[in-house]
Structure 1
Amino acid sequence: MKTLIKNARKDDRIVDILVENGKIAQIKPEISIKTDQVYNAHHNQVIPGLVDVHVHFRDPGYQYKETILTGSKAAAHGGFTTVLAMPNVKPVVDNPEQFEYMLRKNHKDGVIKIKQYGAISNDLTSHHVTNIPKMAKLGAVGFTNDGQGVQSAGTMYRAMKLAKSVNKPIVAHVEDNSLDNGGVMNAGINAKRLGLPGMSPLSESSQLARDLVLARASGCHYHVAHVSTKESVELVRIAKSHGANVTAEVSPHHLFLDDSMITRDNPMMKMNPPLRSPEDRLALIGGLLDGTIDMVATDHAPHSRSEKNGSMLTAAFGVVGIETSFSLMYTHFVKSGLVNLNTLLHWMVYNPINKFHLNNAGQLQIGDPADLTIMDLDHPYRISAKDFLSKGKNSPFIGEKVYGKTLATFVNGKRAY
């Protein structure tokens, strides 16, 4: 099977890309060869397929929110060719049998490459560590209790030592439940003004401090999910300066929104961790720019319409993001002149691949899997829920004008969007 992509912009040049048997065979100014199919990029930008290390596809157990098929189609629509799926489905992916089931289901139902996490502890509680070695042998990309902080230091330390023994990362949702105070948004003046219970930033930073000490002692690769506070950024910065094997991610909603923008009881602004203060948001941007934060991850969290209606007191935590992430990042960081496209690709492709050792994700080099995306970077469009392929429409960015529209996504040379 041969595919020829014509007239793609790459490194300020117009090139043709020949794909043979799912791999990139040639990248040249002009390729004239008979192929099975031809795609004309019309001088639009070609980039390596994006990689998201943090998604929720809700399947099995919550298919009314999302399925592996709808989630992977949404990912392709967003320009993503590889994603790492969280284990907090029903039943939880906390044993080898359920893990093998998820591998088969991801492969059968997905239109992109879906890597699977296993849970740190049984049923996402903080008591018994799962069979990390067996799930690692089956292909687990890492281990996480995302959606729940691991409340027991002993459980986390045991998991870290096991993860270290099989060279897999621990991916931590850091949240001390005793400091959450039943909060539905960030604790502060805006929560008080709206009469809503606030979640203390200490719930994140205090557990992160604990985990960083444990990670240093165990020697494991420790990855911090959805960093949201200035204290967390500084803790990661210090840990890295001391040589700890620590990486961190930030989500677009924490980069572009903060609690000062919550002017009413608005469930679309409810996520966990919550939107923090303007000072926290600036610290996150600074941490991303100086390399303290390694990558951008969406924490794509679809919910049904009814679950995101009403009050923040009762609505579900979480927002979708996999179809808007690149556009938001490109518009705010690259189009504004803050960074160049290559820097953005380090945050959304190269660092995720390198830090998580994703050997079969293509990076737009000859011989790589043909995982690539054609983007229109020149014409603005407005984010619209009706364009989403995800079942979830719960985005706080609906209506925003952005640049970076996905025109086509190829996975192993096969058109996924």
Structure 2
Amino acid sequence: MKRVIANGRILENGQLINRDILIEDGVVKKIASTIGSDSVDDVIDAQNNFVSSGLVDVHVHYRQPGQKQKETIKTGSMAAAHGGFTTVGAMPNLTPAPDSPENLNNVIKLNQKDGVVHIKQYATITTNRGGDELVDFPALKKAGAFAFSNDGNGIQKSSTMYESMQQAAKLDMAIVEHVQDDALTYGGVLNGGAAKRLGLKEMPWVSETAQAARDIILAEATGVHYHICHASSKHTVNIIRAAKKAGIHVTAEVTPHHLLLSDEDIKTDDPYYKMNPPLRGEDDRQALIQGLLDGTIDMIATDHAPHTKEDKAGSIATASFGITGSETAFNMLYTKFVKTGIFTLAQLINWMAEKPASVFKLTDAGRLEVGQPADIAIFDLDDPHKLEASEYLSKGINTPFTGETVYGQTVMTLVDGKVVYKK
């Protein structure tokens, strides 16, 4: 099948320029000022909107199998497509966990059957994503693991992390870590300022940074690619910066919510502001922004974590941790950072598409080029749109961004040249 995306604007050398795109059999065949519609099967009029490589999110939570009431592979991947994402990395906090080739294969088959975007599946580091019994790393790589993570749980025992890094390094695979020393969280749910204001328990920043420091030393010792999930503290940014200067193979991500919000935004006991790690101080938020700008932090990843309304009811003290992100990430970041001149559009696309693909060696994602799969998102950068919960395709509506007026709404998403979302 031949299809043309006409009258679009693409990024070239940091500038938006008018280009048409020819897609044939799911692959980008030509990008030119004008491509005729003769002998093509379909023409998509982009109506002067921004045509981009599909976005890449290396950190999402699809709750199937185990908690389909929160999200399914179908609803989660539809939400991703709604947000302009065409490739995602799905975390392994599932039941049963993908800790064996059999379990991993079963999830991969479900991803391929029900997913409308490309889903790369993480395997666990330890059996059932807990304790200290390591999984069979070579067998899980052979079975198709994207990388190894116990996301949601930090690895508490240093020897367990050290030995997992040794195994992953031999296989040229990444260890992707939720950095959290449980003994230093003290059962807390919020950063210090908000915790004091609302009379709730504090989760200190040191719970994150102390474990990140330990892991960076172990990464140096083993030579593994070590990736830090959802950095939240200025102290963590500082040690990542030092590690990179020392030549240690460390990469890191930051979430949209940690870039957009600080604990000063938590005015009431609202569980939609409860996530792990918690929103930190305004100085931490600024450090995260600076970390992106200077290359200390490599990419943006949503940590899309859907929950039921019941999970997010009541008090921050008792509600589940987590915030959705797939459907609000690009438009919120574009509105708050690109429209205000803090980031350029090219930087945002780099952090949300090109860099995650390159860091995780996804050669078939993150770039809008001839010969690449036609994984494409079309965004309306010009017209304002109010975020409404009724428009979300995720089962989860647990985000404080509902009601915001944004620019950059997704008009259409294509995966392998096929339309998987249309406004």
Under a length normalisation based on structure 2, what TM-score does the superposition of the two structures give?
0.97
Query: One-letter code of the match for 2:291?
Result: G
Is the contact made by 2:28 and 2:369 (CA closer than 8 Å) also made in structure 1? Answer: yes
Identity %: 51
Is the contact made by 1:52 and 1:84 (CA closer than 8 Å) also made in structure 2? Answer: yes
2: CA distance, partners of 1:2 / 1:134: 40
Query: One-letter code of the match for 1:83?
Result: V
Do residues 4 (structure 1) and 8 (structure 2) align?
no
* Structure 2 residue corresponding to 1:346, chosen from 344, 350, 354: 350
Q: Secondary structure at the match of 1:24?
A: strand
* Structure 1 residue corresponding to 2:156, chosen from 151, 160, 166: 151
* Structure 2 residue corresponding to 1:24, chosen from 28, 33, 46: 28
5 Å matches for 1:70-219?
Answer: 70-186=75-191, 188-219=192-223
Which one is further off, 50-59 or 9-18? 9-18
Counterpart residue number, 1:258: 262
1: CA distance, partners of 2:85 / 2:135: 30
Query: One-letter code of the match for 1:307?
Result: D
TM-superposed deviation, 1:362: 5.0
Q: Deviating runs (4+, > 3 A) in structure 1?
A: none
Q: Secondary structure at the match of 1:306?
A: coil
TM-superposed deviation, 1:16: 1.4
Post-superposition Cα deviations, 1:85-108, rounded to whole Å, max 9, x if no partner, equal 000011111111111111111000
Query: One-letter code of the match for 1:256?
Result: L
TM-superposed deviation, 1:190: 2.7
Counterpart residue number, 1:411: 415
Is the contact made by 1:362 and 1:368 (CA closer than 8 Å) also made in structure 2? Answer: no
2: CA distance, partners of 1:123 / 1:354: 29
Query: One-letter code of the match for 2:329?
Result: S
Post-superposition Cα deviations, 1:222-273, rounded to whole Å, max 9, x if no partner, equal 0000000011000100000000001000001111111111111110000000
TM-superposed deviation, 1:151: 0.3
Which one is further off, 25-34 or 368-377? 25-34
Is the contact made by 1:255 and 1:285 (CA closer than 8 Å) also made in structure 2? Answer: yes
Counterpart residue number, 1:333: 337
Do residues 246 (structure 1) and 246 (structure 2) align?
no
* Structure 2 residue corresponding to 1:316, chosen from 320, 342, 346: 320
Post-superposition Cα deviations, 1:133-169, rounded to whole Å, max 9, x if no partner, equal 1111222111000000000111111110111111110
Query: One-letter code of the match for 1:299?
Result: D
1: CA distance, partners of 2:215 / 2:313: 35
Query: One-letter code of the match for 1:203?
Result: S
1: CA distance, partners of 2:35 / 2:314: 56
2: CA distance, partners of 1:190 / 1:178: 21
Q: How many positions carry a matched residue from both structures?
A: 416
TM-superposed deviation, 1:44: 0.6
Do residues 397 (structure 1) and 401 (structure 2) align?
yes
Under a length normalisation based on structure 1, what TM-score does the superposition of the two structures give?
0.98
TM-superposed deviation, 1:380: 1.2
1: CA distance, partners of 2:161 / 2:367: 34
TM-superposed deviation, 1:381: 1.0
Is the contact made by 1:142 and 1:168 (CA closer than 8 Å) also made in structure 2? Answer: yes
Is the contact made by 2:55 and 2:366 (CA closer than 8 Å) also made in structure 1? Answer: no
2: CA distance, partners of 1:354 / 1:169: 13
Is the contact made by 2:354 and 2:366 (CA closer than 8 Å) also made in structure 1? Answer: no
5 Å matches for 1:263-274?
Answer: 263-274=267-278
2: CA distance, partners of 1:283 / 1:144: 25
Query: One-letter code of the match for 1:5?
Result: I
TM-superposed deviation, 1:286: 1.0
Post-superposition Cα deviations, 1:173-222, rounded to whole Å, max 9, x if no partner, equal 00011011111111x23312211011111110000100000000000000
2: CA distance, partners of 1:342 / 1:157: 37
Query: One-letter code of the match for 1:393?
Result: I
Q: Secondary structure at the match of 2:259?
A: helix
Counterpart residue number, 1:383: 387
Is the contact made by 2:52 and 2:376 (CA closer than 8 Å) also made in structure 1? Answer: yes
Do residues 305 (structure 1) and 309 (structure 2) align?
yes
TM-superposed deviation, 1:10: 1.5
Is the contact made by 2:184 and 2:204 (CA closer than 8 Å) also made in structure 1? Answer: yes
Post-superposition Cα deviations, 1:286-332, rounded to whole Å, max 9, x if no partner, equal 11111100000000000001110111111100000000100111112
Counterpart residue number, 2:291: 287
Which one is further off, 234-243 or 359-368? 359-368
* Structure 2 residue corresponding to 1:366, chosen from 370, 374, 386: 370
2: CA distance, partners of 1:251 / 1:286: 14
Is the contact made by 1:362 and 1:372 (CA closer than 8 Å) also made in structure 2? Answer: no
TM-superposed deviation, 1:339: 2.3
TM-superposed deviation, 1:365: 0.3
Task: Tell me: CA distance 1:14–1:394, structure 2 relative to 1, closer, same or farther (3 Å).
Answer: same
Query: One-letter code of the match for 2:411?
Result: L
Do residues 355 (structure 1) and 359 (structure 2) align?
yes
1: CA distance, partners of 2:105 / 2:130: 21
2: CA distance, partners of 1:131 / 1:382: 47
Is the contact made by 1:362 and 1:369 (CA closer than 8 Å) also made in structure 2? Answer: no
1: CA distance, partners of 2:281 / 2:141: 38
